[in-house]
């Protein structure tokens, strides 16, 4: 049993899949709109810019879908192979592993 599993074995939480994913959705939507604003102002300085709400929709679909579907796929794969895995533990572990995307979502390639 690895260290993460020992720590969350008695009480796995859903902080990772819920709040890390929600933070990532809003960061991606906000920074995506900020990027479109900056590109628009650079090309057309006098142009009027409007906030694009669809960025939130797309980010939510992609991030929540990824945060929910991948652990479920791993769960069924592990069940097929004969490993006794808990879906809640997989969601907990996968949600915390999404944390690395928070700082990397602010990176803008030059």
pLDDT grade for 106, boundaries at 50, 70 and 90 = low
Which of 85, 79, 62 is closest to 12 using CA atoms?
85
pLDDT at 60: 93
- Domain regions of the chain by residue span: 14-104
pLDDT at 108: 56
Spatial separation of the C-alpha atoms in residues 4 and 13, rounded to whole Å:
12
pLDDT at 109: 54
Which of 102, 8, 89 is closest to 59 using CA atoms?
102
pLDDT in tens, 34-84: 888 888 888 888 888 888 888 889 889 999 999 999 999 999 999 999 988
Contact 24, 98 (CB under 8 A): yes
Write down the pTM of the prediction: 0.76
pLDDT at 110: 47
pLDDT at 31: 86
Beta-carbon contacts of residue 96 (< 8 Å; ≥ 6 apart): 4, 15, 16, 20
pLDDT grade for 88, boundaries at 50, 70 and 90 = confident
Q: Which two tokens stand for residue 109?
A: 């390639």
Average pLDDT score over residue span 83-106: 84
pLDDT at 66: 92
């Amino acid at each position: 049993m690895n260290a993460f599993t020992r720590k969350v074995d008695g009480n796995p939480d859903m902080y990772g899949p819920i709040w890390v994913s929600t933070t990532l959705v809003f960061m991606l939507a906000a920074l995506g709109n900020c990027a479109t604003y900056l590109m628009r102002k650079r090309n057309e300085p006098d142009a009027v810019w409007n906030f694009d709400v669809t960025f939130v929709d797309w980010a939510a679909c992609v991030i929540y879908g990824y945060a929910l579907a991948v652990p479920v796929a791993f769960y069924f794969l592990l069940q097929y192979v004969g490993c006794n895995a808990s879906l809640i533990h997989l969601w907990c572990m996968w949600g915390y592993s999404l944390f690395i995307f928070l700082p990397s979502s602010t990176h803008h390639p030059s």
